[in-house]
Structure 1
């Protein structure tokens, strides 16, 4: 029996794939680069003491490996989706929210 991810059904063999399928492969999604870009959006706000709080200070410490091994950016984003969404909604940042939605759909 062959793997469906390597051998599409005959009816779909001639169709061109227009959107990467995250459940088959993460190839071409560049999730690490998207997560790094999102972290830049996050840091733009939380590095300013006027916009930080105890949670974001903990987040910064965790991102730097201050409470154990340094996690990668995608793990941090995935683990804190709701808090990140709230931050961008509070700051009315549609560009960052769109990137967060894309990462959530394609990478998490």
Structure 2
């Protein structure tokens, strides 16, 4: 039986869920918005610090997103980045 996106249940199996790829995509969206200096300047400092901490600890992007879920939501909302918000929601539902 072939699984479709609608039949995937993360509580049964992560098979078919692209958590790491989607996390990498979302971090790319974050970096893009930051490079455009979107949102308040406080975000530049905040995410620079958090990404440096992520690197020091050796955490992957999915771990970072899980720890920053609400902050990322607030930032992408301020940037009015609807694709990033949709992907963030998808990651939250499927992977966190």
Aligned position for 1:44: 32
Residue of structure 2 equivalent to 1:84: 72
Moved over 3 A (4+): 47-53
Alignment TM-score, normalising by the size of structure 1: 0.74
Kindly indicate whether structure 1 or structure 2 has the higher relative contact order, using CA contacts under 8 Å at least 6 residues apart: 2
Structure 1 unaligned spans of 5+: 1-13
Cα distance change of structure 1 residues 78 and 29 upon mapping to structure 2, 3 Å threshold: same
Q: Which has the higher helix share?
A: 2
The Cα of 1:19 is off from its aligned counterpart by 1.9
Which residue is 1:33 aligned to? 21
In the alignment, structure 2 segments of 5+ residues that lack a partner are none
> TM-score, length-normalised on structure 2?
0.82
Aligned residues: 91
